[in-house]
Structure formats: structure tokens, C-alpha cells
Chain A
Amino acid sequence: MAKTFKLEIIIPEKVVYSDSVQSISADGTEGSFGVLADHAPLITELKTSILTVNDANNRTIQFALDRGFLEVMANNVVVLSDACVKEGEVNVEKARAEKDAAERTLSGGGSAEEKEKAQSILGRANTWLKLANK
């Protein structure tokens, strides 16, 4: 069996995932990367994206992240994110509604701040939907 390491995905409301895994692949702000056991210490930022995990039993689990930070330290990987859902747990209706609302804000007139916020909500909703429609 391949060597495993510990992965924790934590959001402010709860611990989403905490288990031994074989590998993960994530989308950093500087590009995609993968982590295997015995990876060098690393701290990086993550984009709003899908994180793919290969767990100890070689099953693939996907998570949608709303930005975040990832730290690798001595075979402990910590992912801190604003929001995160596991595949199969996406609230499609809510994501659609959020997407529609964000798109309306973007097409309508509004302050740059509002648009920026809508843009980030849109990004999140799109990622959520992408995970749901896989």
C-alpha cells in the first residue's frame, strides 16, 4: 500500500474532512499541484476550485473550495477555507440561486465593490455546480 499522510480540511463552521490519504491534487493561485507523502514543507494559497483526494483505500473524493490556504508540514496537510462542500452534498438549488443573483448584479449597475463581491460569489457557485454535475 502506498504511503499515506494526514489531511484535514477545516472551515470556520466545522471540520469537513480528517483522515489519512494517499495523494491530493489542488489548484493553487500559481498553478495546479499534487501532494504525496513526504512532501517538502509548503504554504500556498488556493483558488476557488475543486480539490481531488485519493484516500487510503484508493477512493477518489472531490471537494469544492471557496479559496483557501494549504499547508504541508511533516506529513500533515491542512487546508483552511472559507467554505467547502464534499461531492454529493452540494445544494444545487442554492448554488443556482446564488449564481443568478450574482449574474444580475454583474450585469446591472453597481459599485465596483459590489461587483467584486458578486464575482467571487459567482466563482463559488460555478465551482459548486461543477462539482454537482460531474
Chain B
Amino acid sequence: MLSTREIKQRIRSITSIKQITRAMEMVAASRLKKVESRVLASRAFTEKMHSVLSHLVSSLESTHPWFAEKEQAVPVIKVILITADKGLCGAYNNNIIQKVVKFIKEKTGKEIKLTLIGKKGNLYFSKGRYASLVEKYIPESVEKLGYGHVQALAGQLIKEYERNEFGELHIFFTKFHTVMQSFSTSMRLLPIDKGAFESKEKKTRGEYIFEPSAEQIIGNLFPKFVETRLYQCILESLTSEYAARRVAMIAATDNAGEMIEELTSSYNKARQSAITKELLEVVSGAEALVR
């Protein structure tokens, strides 16, 4: 059993850990609030763009090159992975990294090129067996990636796609649902899934006026769409990261509280038993004197 002094020291150190986790929880909560409003706004943008596109697609006669599957001809798959820059956010990083690893294992025979956003993903993939797959690491912190950065990245990817340097583009990110719930998931950005735009608004065919032609608008709108989707995925991930960190820190604070309680009770027990022991010694000493 620990001495009262040691227990006291432990209680002190856990109390300060608790203070730290509580502070981190609050920081995550305030950041979460900020980024949550951004993610909602960008969702509005993506949704509107999706509806405009579905109107456009349903009035197109021919299939546009953006929809064409070219995985067979160009067996290169690009993967964008969004992780956090820091740990201490539960299973957030690990979940999404494992998804990518699984994906890589499934796609044997295809060449996979990774683009990493976030330090944690880079730490995992830049060493070990998958190091050769890493094509690019974006060193800016996820938090500071603005729309401008995303535009540049998307622009470059689109150019490479048009030059047939890769056949598919997948993005792995964590979709934010509520603070307690987010889903690590993946989505195919290119070629664009035509099914997603069809069926819903068939009746609008031929009713629209297009200026310039529908083909031309689509040619300009699709790169934008890829851009906004990418931007949105980044925001979703960032929101999930803060949510995950907040939840992890709440749990840590609770655990620290429980531990302090336990230690306090064993401290009291140790103190009590020390007192009992001393009393016994005094009493038995006195008795020995009487004899």
C-alpha cells in the first residue's frame, strides 16, 4: 500500500492533469462552434450547386467526359486523406487511416497515389511499407487551409485528370453528424457519379434557358463542384476533429475526477490505519509499563 505522502502527490498530479484536459475541452468546444457554422454554410453551397447541376445534367443530351469511367485505361487511383495535425482526439485519426489501409489492400494491381492533409496521416504513411505511395503532403495545418488553398489543389488535380494522369480520385474524410457522432467515410470525387444527379428532377428536361450552352456551363461548373466538395470535406473533417477531441477530453476529465475520488478514499483509509496503528502502539506501550 502506498504511503499517505505518495497518495497525496498522486492526487496533486492528477488534479493538474484534470485542469489541463478541462482546458483542452473548452478550447475544442469553442473552436468547434466556430467551424460548425462554417461547415453548415458550405453545406448550403454544395447542396445548391448539386441541385443546379442535377438540373443541368438532366437536360444534357450526350454524356459529358466528366462522367466517363476511365479506370480501365488509366489504372492509377489518387487518394486524398484528411487527418488531424494533433492527437488526443480519440480514435479519430486511427479510424480514417485504417479505412485507407483497407482500401489500399483491396485495390491490388492498381497504382495508388496518396495526397495527405494533416500531420498525423503523414506520420503514419511517410514511414514503413506504404511510404512509396505517398505522392504529396500538404504541410499547411488543416485549420488554416482556406478556400484559396483548396482551389489551387483542386485546380491542379483537375488538370492532371484531364491529362489522364490518373483514372479515379477518392477522398477519405470524416463526416460530421453531431458532436457525439461522426463517420469516417470515403467518396469518389472523379469521375463524377452520374447516378447522383439523375432521376430526381427528370421533368425539367428542356425547360431551361441556358446562357451560354448547357455543355459550356457544365464544363465550367464541374471543376467548381469538385473544388467545393473538396473544401467541404476538409471542413467536415475539421469539425469532426474538434468534436472528437472535445468528447475525448470530457472523458479524460471525468476519468481524472473518478481517479481523484478513488485516491482520496484510499488516502483517508491509509491515514486512518496509520492513526489506528499509532494508537495501538501507544496503548500497548503504556500497558507494558504498567506491568
Q: Write the A9-38 contact mask toward B (1 if CB under 8 angstroms, else 0).
A: 011111100000000000011100000000
Give the distance to chain A from B277, nearest Cβ to Cβ, in Å.
69
Q: Tell me whether A85 is interfacial, beta carbon within 8 Å.
A: no
- CB-defined contacts of A82 to chain B, threshold 8 Å: 147, 151, 224
CB neighbours of B51 from chain A (8 A): 78
**Dominant secondary structure of chain B at its interface with chain A:** helix
Asked if A42 is at the interface of the complex by the 8 Å CB criterion, the answer is yes
Of B6-14, B40-48, B244-252, B262-270, which stretch is located at the interface?
B40-48
- A34-70 vs B, CB cutoff 8 Å, 1 = contact: the mask equals 0000001111110000000000000000000000010
Contact between chains at B41 and A43 (CB < 8 Å): no
| Interface assignment of A73: CB less than 8 Å from any CB of chain B | yes
Interfacial chain B residues near A73, Cβ < 8 Å: 55, 204
B211 near A10 with CB under 8 A, answer: no
Asked whether any CB of chain A lies closer than 8 Å to the CB of B128, the reply is no
In the complex where A69-B221, A73-B55 touch, is A15 in contact with B209 (Cβ < 8 A)?
Answer: no
Question: CA separation between A10 and B40, bound complex, in Å?
Answer: 12
Rounded to whole angstroms, the CA-CA distance of A41 and B216 in the bound complex is 17
> What is the number of residues of chain A that contact chain B, defined by CB distance less than 8 Å?
22
Of chain B, the residue at the smallest CB distance from A78 is: B48
Q: Does A103 contact B (CB under 8 A)?
A: no
Taking the nearest CB of chain B, how far is it from the CB of A55, in angstroms?
20
Interface size class of B (residues with CB under 8 A): 20 to 34
Cross-chain contact of A43 among B55, B147, B228 (Cβ < 8 A): B55
Q: Which residues of A are found within 8 Å of B41, using beta-carbon distances?
A: 10, 12-15
Whether A12 contacts B211 in the complex (CB less than 8 A), given A43-B52, A43-B56, A71-B55, comes out as: no
Query: How far in angstroms is the closest Cβ of chain B from A91?
Result: 15
B162-202: CB near A (< 8 Å → 1, else 0) gives 00000000000000000000000000000000000000000
Q: Does chain B have a CB within 8 A of A8?
A: yes
- With A and B bound together, what is the CA distance between A106 and B44 in angstroms? 36
State the CA gap A120–B164 with chains docked (Å): 27
The answer to whether B209 and A42 touch across the interface, beta carbons within 8 angstroms, is yes
CB B220 to nearest CB in A, in angstroms, measures 6
A80 at the interface (CB under 8 A from B): yes
Inter-chain CA distance A71–B55, complex, in Å, is 10
Given contacts A12-B228, A45-B217, contact A30 B212 (CB under 8 A): yes
Flag if A13 contacts B48 (CB, 8 Å).
no
Write out the residue numbers on chain A whose beta carbons fall within 8 Å of the beta carbon of B151: 82
Cβ A40 vs Cβ B45 within 8 A: no
CB pairs A–B below 8 angstroms (6 shown): A10-B44, A12-B41, A12-B147, A15-B41, A29-B212, A44-B209
Q: What residues of chain B have their CB less than 8 Å away from a CB belonging to chain A?
A: 38, 41-42, 44-45, 48-49, 51-52, 55-56, 147, 151, 204, 207-212, 214, 216-217, 220-221, 224, 228, 231-232
Known: A10-B48, A42-B211, A78-B48; 16 extra A-B contacts, CB below 8 A, are A11-B45, A13-B38, A13-B41, A14-B38, A15-B41, A41-B55, A41-B204, A41-B207, A42-B208, A42-B209, A43-B210, A44-B211, A71-B52, A78-B51, A80-B49, A82-B151
